[in-house]
Structure 1
Amino acid sequence: MPAYAIYSLAALAEIAGCFAFWGWLKLDRPIWWLIPGVASLALFAWLLTLIDSEAAGRAYAAYGGVYIAASLLWLWLAEGIKPDRWDLTGMTVALVGSAIILAGPR
C-alpha cells in the first residue's frame, strides 16, 4: 500500500480517536466515547508501523503534512467550518514538505 494511503488512514484514525476525547471533555459526551477513541488511536499507531522507513522520526515527519490536510478536511466535513485561504496555504506548504521527506534519495 502506498505511503500516502497508509498516512491517510492513519490520519483518519488519529483524528477520530482524538475527537472522541474532545467530545468527552469539551462537548459533554458520555465517557464510553473513549472506548472507540482508544481503539482508533491504537489503530493509528499500528498503521504508522506499516510505513517503509528505516527511522520512525522520518515516517512521523512525513505524516505531519498528511495529518494537517486531514485535519482541515475534518474541520470542513465534520465540524462544518470551511478552511480559509491561510489554512489551505499552510496545508499546501506542509504537503510539499511531506513529499520532499518521502521522495528524498536515501
Structure 2
Amino acid sequence: MTILRSIALFVVAALCEIGGAWLVWQGVREHRGWLWAGLGVLALGAYGFVATLQPDAHFGRILAAYGGVFVAGSLAWGVVMDGYRPDRYDIIGALVCLAGVAVIMYAPRG
C-alpha cells in the first residue's frame, strides 16, 4: 500500500509541476495571458506541498527519484498536450529513468 501511495503522489506531483510549467509556457510563450501563467505558478507551488506527502522522510531521495518521474512525465505530457511524438531513444531514456526511480525509492533497505 505504501508503494502505491508513493506512486500516486509522484503522479500528482508530476501533474502539478509539469502542468504548472506548461501553463506558464502557454501564458508567456504562446501569449495566452497572465491568467494562464498565474495558474501555472499556483500549480508549481502545489507541487512543493505534494512532495512533502511522500512516505519517505529523505528530501534528497524524494527529489532525486522525482527527477526520473519528471523526465517520463514530461514526454507523456508532450504526447497528450502538444502532439509530440517521442522516438525510440526518448522512450528508452524514460524507461531508464523510471528504473532509476524504482531503485532509489523501492529497493529493499536493511
What's the TM-score, normalizing by structure 1? 0.92
Residue of structure 2 aligned with 1:103, choices 103, 106, 109: 106
Percent same amino acid among aligned pairs? 36
Over the residues paired in the alignment, what is the CA RMSD in angstroms? 1.3
Give the match's secondary structure for 2:82: coil
Comparing 91-100 and 29-38, the one that deviates more: 29-38
What is residue 79 of structure 1 aligned with on the other side?
82
Give the match's secondary structure for 1:2: helix
Moved segments of 4+, more than 3 Å: none
The letter of the residue matching 1:63 is Y
Give the match's secondary structure for 1:52: coil
Q: Which segments of 5 or more consecutive residues in structure 2 lack a partner in the other structure?
A: none
Q: Which segments of 5 or more consecutive residues in structure 1 lack a partner in the other structure?
A: none
* 1:58 and 2:61 are equivalent in the alignment: yes
What is residue 46 of structure 2 aligned with on the other side?
43
Comparing 75-84 and 25-34, the one that deviates more: 25-34
Cα shift at 1:17: 0.7
Give the number of equivalent residue pairs. 106
